[in-house]
Amino acid sequence: MVAQRTREVEISGIRKMFEAAPPNSINLGLGEPDFDPAPEVIEALCTAVRSGKNHYGPSAGIPELRDKIAERYRELDPGTLRENVIVTAGGSEGLMTAALALYDPGTEVLVPNPGFVLYAPHAKLAGAVPVPYSLYPAQKYIPDFDELERLVSPRTRAIVVNSPSNPTGAVFPRSVVDRIVAFADRHNLTIVSDEVYEDIVYGTTATSFWGRSDRVVIANSFSKTLAMTGWRLGFLVAPKSYAAALNKIHYHILACPSTPVQVAVLAGIGNGSSSFQAMLKEFKARRELVTRLLGKMPGLSLVPPQGAFYAFPHFDWHRSSAEVAHALLARGVITTPGDAFGSLGASHLRISFAASQKAIRDGLKILQTYADEVAK
Ligand SMILES: Cc1ncc(COP(=O)(O)O)c(C=O)c1O
């Protein structure tokens, strides 16, 4: 018999759509850059493997990489050291590690609704209760602080935040970050800030939560910025008072992160920026394209994404988001039903623009035809 906890979580709706899709479907579903890592990073991986960097390393990551990450975060908090950094198997493992290290059974965790698919299940797997806080298009998917005050209870342990957001594309202005920090401090909450899209922004900058509170854990990843979702590398940045506990859980999940991948990423952090700039430029062009094409569709409205690579249009077609996504899938385009991200994702579709401009044009043509039909 399998454990009860396996019944409390599901495979995400993103994966389900992907796995149900016929071959040759246009993929506007998955959130991964359709780029390769920079050539020098690929080369560094090959060299690392050939030169024998194929063995276990320290649980929290190789010191050189931890130092490099700490150096970057010193801009936000001059006291940041290697000891504050734990290298993880992507943001996903970092988030799971944070949940198991921070949430006690029976405590409550505020999670965004709509929000990324891991936060609520991770809280449940830790035995905690996810308490969704609402993000509405009319407020540009910024939290409502009156609602947060109503939701917080003596059992609340943490708040999970994600800016730039998957799926909404919202980027919290600095003033909102300040208010979240003040709210968390007032209620003794730990902030778990998922910043995996921090560098993927359009005409704005994302404000990190690091250095703003003594109780904040940053989850970050190389998956998106270095276009290496399959390499599985990310990191946590945490106050020293949390780092030992996080590292203990991380050790029990993973033993240690991949040694050759860490060596290769070290090369990428220093040299990968021109590849990143080229990728960002292309994402900007795609964002314009998606925003323009969605803007023409009847019954559909969009808060233009300020970050990440998703458009999250709201529709008023009196159909469920699963119905719409399945109808589109039958016509050859994969999207993600908005309610895969929580109840307030209903009447939304998530359209990933981590796909070529041709795929976006072809996929959104199908959506346009569908929108014209249902609007009649
Ligand atoms: C908001 C957010 N956080 C975390 C992750 C996990 O990324 P990874 O485990 O590839 O680093 C993703 C991936 O889609 C994401 O969108």
Which tens digits make up the pLDDT trace of 278-292? 999 999 999 999 999
Atom nearest to 94 CA in ligand 1: 9
- Answer yes or no: is the C-beta of 221 below 6 A from any ligand 1 atom: yes
Atom nearest to 91 CA in ligand 1: 11
Atom nearest to 162 CA in ligand 1: 1
323: Cβ contacts below 8 Å, ≥ 6 apart: none
| Residue reference for tokens 């850059």 | 33
Contacts 24+ apart (CB under 8 A), 209-213: 209/161, 209/177, 209/180, 209/181, 210/73, 210/76, 210/77, 210/80, 210/237, 211/73, 211/76, 211/77, 211/80, 212/177, 212/178, 212/181, 213/181, 213/184, 213/185
- Answer yes or no: is the C-beta of 89 below 6 A from any ligand 1 atom: no
The first and second tokens of residue 94, run together, are 């970092």
Ligand 1 atom 4, closest CA: 91
- pLDDT-derived band at 208 (thresholds 50, 70, 90) equals very high
Answer whether residue 203 shows pLDDT above 70.
yes
pLDDT value of position 269: 78
- pLDDT-derived band at 213 (thresholds 50, 70, 90) equals very high
Secondary structure (3-state) at 88: strand
- Answer yes or no: is the C-beta of 31 below 6 A from any ligand 1 atom: yes
Atom nearest to 229 CA in ligand 1: 10
| 324 within 8 A of 114, measured Cβ to Cβ | no
Closest CA to 340 of 20, 88, 97: 20
Answer whether residue 109 shows pLDDT above 60.
yes
270/267 Cα distance (integer angstroms): 6
Atom nearest to 116 CA in ligand 1: 1
135/208 Cα distance (integer angstroms): 19
**Burial category of 309 from C-beta neighbours within 10 Å (exposed 0-12, middle 13-18, buried 19 and up):** buried
Closest CA to 111 of 56, 151, 168: 151
45/176 Cα distance (integer angstroms): 40
Least confidently predicted of 105-109, 268-272, 278-282, 349-353? 268-272
Reported as a single tens digit per residue, the pLDDT across 49-85 is 999 999 999 999 999 999 999 999 999 999 999 999 9
- In order of start, what are the domains of the chain with their CATH numbers? 4-37+274-371 (3.90.1150.10), 55-271 (3.40.640.10)
Answer whether residue 293 shows pLDDT above 90.
yes
Answer whether residue 330 shows pLDDT above 90.
yes
The larger pLDDT score, comparing residue 23 to residue 361, is at: 361
pTM of the model: 0.97
- Answer yes or no: is the C-beta of 162 below 6 A from any ligand 1 atom: yes
Pocket test for ligand 1, best of 118, 217, 221, 353 (most atoms within 8 A of CB): 221
Reported as a single tens digit per residue, the pLDDT across 247-283 is 999 999 999 999 999 999 998 776 557 889 999 999 9
Pocket test for ligand 1, best of 12, 166, 200 (most atoms within 8 A of CB): 166
Task: Give the CA distances from residue 26 to residues 232, 347, 356, in Å, rounded to whole numbers and listed in that order.
Answer: 25, 21, 10
Cα 92 to middle of ligand 1, angstroms:
6
List phi, psi (to 5°) of 263: -60, -40
Least confidently predicted of 27-36, 224-233, 338-347? 27-36
Cα 318 to middle of ligand 1, angstroms:
31
pLDDT value of position 271: 54
Q: What is the mean pLDDT of residues 332-352?
A: 96
Task: Give the CA distances from residue 337 to residues 28, 123, 344, in Å, rounded to whole numbers and listed in that order.
Answer: 11, 22, 11
The first and second tokens of residue 341, run together, are 């991200």
214/217 Cα distance (integer angstroms): 9
Ligand 1 atom 7, closest CA: 91
Q: What is the mean pLDDT of residues 319-344?
A: 95
Beta bridge partners of 133: 112
